């Protein structure tokens, strides 16, 4: 689990241990590069998270892992930073650029989007394997990817995009080869969240 000064890592660490992972919380580039799987958590402001990530060469680390097909899981703002950029209150910041698109403020009556919501996962999803359609996950965020802009060619396996709705549709999870991410907090989503983490972990160890 990448430690770059972003909030409460303990919950995610404990939730991963609960499903059987051997977890190391580290900011060390080589250790994070060599792990079987890397979790990138994140809470708070997009720009602030990117500052922290840049300080530990996070974008290079994530890029190098993905180039080698090594799994990465982004959670909440840890998912948002995988996009090209984020705009919060007029402040624009570059993300890691793994996916095209901008993370923006949701158009909804009540923000933050705080609480348990359902998601619509595509057929073939690994992350949501074994979970019923009405299962709810815990979200807390005001910003999101409101569109999915990565064009898929028929030559490659297309990314699996899971959607949720609060005021409008937004991206709730992505499974794109070795890069997976969730806008909700699996570590705070009780047994349903544990199942998502376990599904990811099973995929990591093959």
Partner 1 sequence: MGVAVRVIPCLDVDAGRVVKGVNFKELRDAGDPVEMAAVYDAEGADELTFLDVTASSGERETMVDVVRRTAEQVFIPLTVGGGIRTPDDVDRMLRAGADKVSVNTAAIARPELLGEMARRFGSQCIVLSVDARRVVDGPATPSTFEVTTHGGRTGTGIDAVEWAARGQELGVGEILLNSMDADGTRAGFDLELIEKVRRVVDVPVIASGGAGALEHFPPAVRAGADAVLAASVFHFGQLRIGEVKDVLRADHVEVR
Q: x-or-dash pattern for partner 1, window 50-89, by CB under 8 A?
A: ----------------------------------------
**CB nearer partner 1, residue 118 or residue 129:** 118
110 binds partner 1 (CB under 8 A): yes
In the set 13, 49, 76, 166, the catalytic residue is 76
Q: Choosing from 113, 141, 166, 185, which is the catalytic residue?
A: 185
Q: Taking CB under 8 A as the rule, does residue 151 contact partner 1?
A: no
Task: State the binding string over 122-141 for partner 1 (x if CB under 8 A, else -).
Answer: ------------x-x-xxxx
Q: SS3 helix, strand, coil % of the chain, rounded to 5?
A: 30, 30, 40
Size of the site for partner 1 (CB under 8 A): 36
Of 107 and 157, the one with the shorter C-beta distance to partner 1 is: 107
Active site residue 34: no
Distance between CA atoms of residues 140 and 11, nearest Å: 15
49 is catalytic: no
How far apart CA 172 and CA 181 sit, in angstroms, is: 8
CB atoms within 10 A of CB 36: 12
The torsion angles phi and psi of 181, rounded to 5 degrees, stand at -160, 150
Least Å from the CB of residue 15 to partner 1:
6
Residue 27 or 150: the one with the smaller Cβ distance to partner 1 is 27
- The site string for partner 1 over 12-51 (x = CB under 8 A, - otherwise) reads --xx--x------------------------xxx------
CA distance 25 to 91: 30
- Which of 24, 97, 7, 99 lies closest to 60 in space, CA to CA? 97
What b-and-e string marks burial along 109-118, b requiring 16 or more CB atoms within 10 Å of the CB? eeeebeeebe
For partner 1, which residue of 73, 93, 187, 200 counts as binding (CB under 8 A)? 187
Give the start-end residues of each E strand in the chain: 38-40, 72-75, 83-88, 91-94, 99-105, 113-118, 136-141, 143-145, 160-166, 168-176, 179-182
**Residues 168, 107 contacting (CB under 8 angstroms):** yes
Q: What is the binding site for partner 1 (CB under 8 A)?
A: 7-8, 10-11, 14-15, 18, 43-45, 109-118, 134, 136, 138-142, 165-166, 187-191, 193-194
Q: Tell me the catalytic residues.
A: 76, 185, 187
């Amino acid at each position: 689990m990448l430690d770059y000064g972003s909030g409460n890592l303990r919950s995610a660490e404990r939730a991963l241990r609960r499903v059987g992972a051997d977890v190391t919380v580290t900011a060390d580039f080589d250790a994070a590069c060599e792990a079987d799987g890397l979790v990138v958590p994140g809470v708070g402001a997009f720009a602030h998270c990117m500052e922290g990530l840049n300080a530990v060469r996070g974008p290079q680390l994530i890029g190098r892992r993905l180039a080698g097909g090594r799994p990465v899981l982004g959670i909440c703002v840890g998912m948002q930073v995988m996009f090209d950029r984020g705009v919060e209150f007029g402040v624009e910041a570059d993300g890691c650029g793994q996916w095209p698109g901008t993370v923006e403020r949701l158009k909804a009556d009540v923000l933050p989007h705080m609480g348990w919501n359902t998601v619509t996962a595509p057929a073939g999803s690994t992350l949501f394997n074994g979970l019923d359609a009405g299962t709810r996950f815990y979200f807390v965020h005001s910003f999101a990817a409101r569109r999915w802009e990565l064009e898929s060619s028929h030559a490659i396996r297309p990314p699996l995009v899971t959607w949720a709705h609060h005021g409008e549709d937004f991206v709730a999870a992505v499974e794109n080869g070795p890069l997976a991410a969730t806008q909700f907090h699996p570590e705070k989503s009780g047994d349903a969240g544990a199942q998502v983490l376990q599904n990811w972990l099973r995929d990591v160890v093959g």
